[in-house]
Structure 1
Amino acid sequence: MRPDYDVVYPPDEAETAGSHEKLEIQLLLQAIYQAYGYDFRNYAYDSIRRRILHAMQVMGERTISGFIPRILHDPRQLFLLLDLLIVSVSEMYRDPSMFKEFREKVIPFLRTYPYIRIWHAGCSRGEEVLSMAILLEEEGVYDKARIYATDIDEGALTLAREGQYPLSIMEKFAVNYRLAGGTRDFSEYYTVEHNEARFRPTLLRNVVYASHNLVTDHSFNEFNVIMCRNVMIYFDRQLQNRVHQLFYDSLAMFGFLSLGSPETVSNFAGSDCYEPINEKEKLYRRIK
């Protein structure tokens, strides 16, 4: 006689291991959030998983959940882990064609403003902040501008305030600068000290660096330009929508939004509030 129940087969070992790993990651991210307020819970899963696995190798941890007692009992362990979870990668005039488009299409509007507020969200080590400062200086509008540069990574902000980078990458930066429409000799903007290039302190005279978490913090001013490039690619759809709303709430009418090349406003519920200045360069203007 056929038994009156369904046969339950044991779960596949790989599937079980994967679900356990995901649970460990969720528990770790929840512990970081509840204990310290850093919220990685809505970061894209594959991205945050790769970074956690890399952190395990670097920090000598055998299990993902093994991080939890380490960070709860020793905040220094948290900061070691954060350095490995937070992506701080950028370069001066990254995507030069965008900066060229900004110079040609956005600067004419900014010239008409009595005062210009620019927010660089997720500014990393300040490379793009310096790029903007130089561009505004060359276009003669820097003295009426204020750049607010924010990031979650305090270590990156410290480096950004110093305005000092390895001399070995200056050639790459100089090429980007020329492609972005730079009008001078790029070497005029820095001095060489040993193997470091130190940018002129006057370039940062109108820059305010501060800690800000796009995941948990709110709008803190109204801006004519918001630049957040190659940051939201690490967020899931829910968090992307949250950050898009934050930018919309922070952007003045007819203000400009600049995103990274893999990013777009099209997935945002309020995307019809923007018109593209250049869709390819992910440069938009708020119209509603």
Structure 2
Amino acid sequence: MEQSVLQDNDIEILLNDLFEVYGYDFTDYSKASIRRRVNRLFTLDRFLSFAEFRYKIKYDPEYLKRFVEQITVTVTEMFRDPLFYKALREHILPVLGTYPFIRIWHAGCSSGEEVYSMAILLKEANLLHKSLLYATDINPEVLDRARKGIFPLVQMKQYSENYILSGGKKEFSGYYTAIYDKVLFDESLREKMIFSTHNLVSDRSFNVFQLILCRNVLIYFDKDLQSRVFDLFEESLENLGYLALGSKETLRFSTIAPRFKQVDKEKIWRKIA
């Protein structure tokens, strides 16, 4: 039997179900991105009808977890875009080092690779002892993986290359212990991290930060939702604090743009008013 593709009104019904039953609000996410991810899962799991798919999402808690993970998970790796991390290392951390205490928020942290990258930068700058890294995501499954600090060994070669390109001078393998086909990152890095669920769509500010990173998340949001998230970041950012976005994201044309100045071509802005 040939499998059909879900129509826009089908997907709208699913999103309404998620909001009404579980409180997940995806209605302002990029329509194209949601459509692509939902249809991919519908095809991958071989559902024969929309009704079957909808029933599974509404009444099977385990499948709901899979559904949320599949439509929210972002591709990430440690020291992704090494020049971005080099800019942090050379230009941003020396300024943050003048603060008595440093609070950093990784918004939409996914499985945590970026958070561990930041912890390594802070450790090498001798700033980790006075830093706290808040890592949040809507997806509790990926947060649980991030919290454990366990990653596939096969990825370490690429991560090590990224680390060196970011300006790293130490042995990257010194930050983790290999256990069969996995690695466990050091407790000294993990103890400075706080992982928590947070929905950028509906949850509010929960602290004041000197640096907020939200990279390659906003590309999945429509313009109105991006604007709301930017307002949240401005509210959460200390004056003269920094906001870092992904390579395809920008503050330009946003309502908060006049109160920020781009300080590095690697998509880093500073709050100036």
Please classify the TM superposition score into its range, dividing by the shorter chain length: over 0.9
How many Å separate the matches in 2 of 1:215 and 1:62? Answer: 32
Distance 1:210 1:223 in 2: 16
Q: What is the rounded CA distance, in whole Å, between the counterparts of 2:148 and 2:60 in structure 1?
A: 29
Structure 1 residues 152-179: Cα deviation after superposition (integer angstroms, max 9, x where no partner): 1111111111111111110100010011
Q: Give yes or no for contact 2:244–2:269 (8 Å, CA) kept in 1.
A: yes
Matches of 1:67 and 1:218, distance apart in 2: 32
Confirm whether residue 243 of structure 1 aligns to residue 229 of structure 2.
yes
- Kindly name which structure, 1 or 2, has the bigger radius of gyration based on alpha carbons: 1
User: 2:259–2:272: 8 Å Cα contact kept in structure 1?
Assistant: yes
Q: In structure 1, give the amino acid aligned to 2:266.
A: E
User: Contact 1:153–1:211 at 8 Å: present in 2 too?
Assistant: yes
Q: Does 1:271 align with 2:257?
A: yes
C-alpha RMSD over aligned residues: 1.5
Q: 2:74–2:217: 8 Å Cα contact kept in structure 1?
A: no
Q: Does the CA contact (< 8 Å) of 1:28 and 1:65 recur in 2?
A: no
Gaps in structure 2 of 5+ consecutive residues: none
Counterpart in 2 of 1:80?
66
SS in 2 for 1:285: strand
**In the alignment, which of 120, 130, 133 is matched to residue 144 of structure 1?**
130
Deviating 4+ runs (over 6 angstroms): none
Q: Describe the SS at the equivalent of 2:203.
A: coil
Structure 2 counterpart of 1:214, one-letter code: L
Whole-Å separation in 1 of the counterparts to 2:50 and 2:244: 36
| 2:269 corresponds to | 284
Match in the other structure for 1:200: 186
Report the TM-score, using the length of structure 1 for normalisation. 0.90
Aligned residues: 270
Cα deviations across residues 177-208 of structure 1 (Å, max 9, x unaligned)?
01111121111111111111211111111110
- Report the alpha carbon displacement of residue 79 of structure 1 after superposing the two structures with TM: 1.7
CA distance in 2, matches of 1:275, 1:64: 47
Question: Which residue number in structure 2 is paired with residue 6 of structure 1?
Answer: none
The Cα of 1:274 is off from its aligned counterpart by: 0.5
What's the TM-score once normalised by structure 2's chain length? 0.95
Q: Give me the whole-angstrom Cα distance separating, in 1, the residues matched to 2:144 and 2:211.
A: 24
Spell out, residue by residue over 1:47-86, the C-alpha distance to the aligned partner (whole angstroms, 9 max, x if none): 1101111111122223445433332233333222212212
SS of the counterpart of 2:250? coil
The Cα offsets for residues 123-164 of structure 1, whole Å up to 9 and x where unpaired, read as 111111000001000001111110000011111111111111
Q: How many angstroms apart in 1 are the aligned matches of 2:99 and 2:82?
A: 25
Consecutive unaligned residues of structure 1, counting only runs of 5 or more, are: 1-16
Match of 1:165 among 123, 148, 151: 151
